[in-house]
Amino acid sequence: RSRDPNLSGTPVVLVNELESLPDLSVTGIRPEMLYHLQGDYTQISVLEESGVKRASRAVVMADNVRSNVDSDRDARSVLCALTIERLHPQIYCVVELVDAAHRETLEMGHVEVVIMRADLAGRALASACRSQHVMDAMMNLLTLREGEHVHRLPGPKERLRFSELLNAVKEHEGFLVIGIEEDGKAKLNPPADFMVTPE
């Protein structure tokens, strides 16, 4: 059971070339909502069979089945992501890359989020060196089944100072506001007097 209300009850289609599903019990996905399609996820016919044209999100992970060569894995990820974007331009697509060399290509192809595996691991290691408790907080946010989660809420009904919004949301929703979205960009921890609009 997902603790994210936006994803609760959302079917998940896993496309890979494995004969059977890996153990995904740790994710909390209900087994009846999980579908496995065996096939090459770079092929248009396989992506169409997966229902990608009706999907709201796509996550492309580096392929560890066909190759252990980073450039080959990234090439397959890029091909898959660009094909998905071509088949369904409105989809929200997240792609894992091993090497940053292809990041710009994915951004030009309108992929919303590119996760760099080594960069993410490096940042986590550096944070752990600075403070164990910072890492504890990060893991709490990134763990699916336990801990806290980041939620998006609509803006206030009227313009408010950030400090007023912080108190109102904590009091009425029980959430700690960590930032706002402005023009599609996250602005974390804005000044107390920053004016937050309904948008």
One digit per residue, pLDDT tens: the chain, 199 residues?
345 555 667 888 999 888 887 777 766 677 788 888 999 999 999 999 999 999 999 999 988 777 677 788 899 999 999 999 999 999 999 999 988 888 999 999 999 999 887 777 777 788 778 777 777 777 777 766 666 777 788 888 999 999 999 999 999 888 889 899 888 788 889 999 999 988 8
> Contact, 22 vs 56, CB < 8 A?
no
Question: What amino acid is encoded at 68 in this protein?
Answer: N
**Res 96: pLDDT:** 92
Tell me the sheet residues that pair with 58: 93
Taking alpha carbons only, the member of 166, 133, 131, 136 closest to residue 148 is 136
pTM, 2 dp? 0.70
Taking alpha carbons only, the member of 88, 23, 2, 94 closest to residue 50 is 88
CA distances (Å), 80 to each of 43, 128, 197, in order? 8, 34, 38
